[in-house]
Amino acid sequence: MPKYMPRRRRRKVEFSHITYDDSNRAVEVTDDDENNAFLDDVSFNRSNQTSRRFQKKITIQDLYEENDPDVEILLKEMATMRINSVVEYPKGTQLKLIISFEDGSQALLKPTEVNIYADNICFHGHCKQYCDTSHAICGQPVAVEVSLATMLQLERKKWKNPWRRSYRKRNPMAEWEKNDLYCQVVKKQALYNNSKRLADLMDVFILDFLIGEGVDKFGRADHDELSILTPLMQCCFLHSKTFHKLVELQHDDFKLSALMRCSLHQDPLTPVLSNAHLEALDRRLEIILHTIRSCIQEHGMNNVFCR
């Protein structure tokens, strides 16, 4: 049986605030006011110079330019910088933690796999859906594999994903899972009747499928979550430049797996991805291209590509 870490509670709180003392030992603070003041829907400290430089260079076209030196610096800082505090993020359907570093920068931590192994230390958090003993996060025996993403300290609009999953116990299937013509419903919405925005959304789904977002980010190399491509299958619409880039990534000189391996080589945690995960990228790329070519065959190139 897995061993669960005991939780000391003086009174009920919405989420836990964990700090570190001088000996780097975890200390749990269960004060609602302190938690709310600290989190406040994730309030950011803007003192980190690398993070600020990185974010100032973000454009509508690129998150960062190729060979940007600040990317390597930022990755190294995230891997080596002292952690000042950890706060459980109460929103969403899965466990997430807000990591605050000593320079004031923050990152979002999320376990990449949820497995239960005998005699290992396990825990669960507080969230809407997958935060209970049946979805425990377990170490091997205490180490847990996680993803860590730097927080963008930018004001940005938030739009709901029309193809989001329902996560409702009584009616677990969302409308898009039952209606093959759901894209026509989406196109009638004022937010998505703009063809460019709809094509931008398809880019997101393509990326999600490549990294296996529907299961876990690079969690299972042997599983392709085809439901993530449902929006592309239903709409048969995307940027022409996206298609041409995907075709380019098929070629041996620019093969996606090779480019990813090269990109991750300088990462402090290299190799980061196993060969199986890299091979999965190439396999999923073929599935995406097959889907797009089927759309072209059925609807014609002029109706599929947003130009």
pLDDT at 201 over 90: yes
Beta strands (DSSP E) in 13-96 are: 17-20, 26-29, 83-88
Q: Which residue type sits at 11?
A: R
Task: Indicate the helix (H) or strand (E) that contains 137.
Answer: strand 137-138
Instruction: Report which of 296, 299, 44 is spatially closest to residue 153, judged by C-alpha positions.
Output: 44
151 is known to lie in a ligand binding site: yes
Please give the pLDDT value at position 257.
Answer: 94
Max Cα–Cα distance, the chain, nearest Å: 65
Can you give the pTM of this predicted structure?
Answer: 0.74
Please give the pLDDT value at position 41.
Answer: 42
Q: Which residue type sits at 173?
A: M
242 is known to lie in a ligand binding site: no
Please give the pLDDT value at position 21.
Answer: 36
Please give the pLDDT value at position 133.
Answer: 84
Which DSSP letter does residue 82 get?
P
149 is known to lie in a ligand binding site: yes
Q: What is the mean pLDDT of the chain?
A: 80
CB 135 within 8 A of CB 121: no
256 is known to lie in a ligand binding site: no
pLDDT tens column, 47-91:
578 888 888 888 877 888 888 899 889 989 998 999 999 999 878
Q: Phi and psi for 242 in degrees, rounded to 5? A: -65, -45
**Bridge partners, residue 206, by sequence:** none
Token pair of 121, please?
Answer: 């230390």
pLDDT tens column, 252-263:
888 999 999 988
Instruction: Provide DSSP, 9-22.
Output: -SS--SS-EEEE-T
pLDDT tens column, 85-113:
999 987 888 889 999 999 888 999 988 77
pLDDT tens column, 143-181:
888 888 888 777 777 788 999 988 776 777 899 999 999
Chain centroid to Cα 108, Å, comes to 10
Q: List CB contacts of 35: < 8 A, sequence separation 6 or more.
A: 13, 14, 15, 16, 17, 29, 87
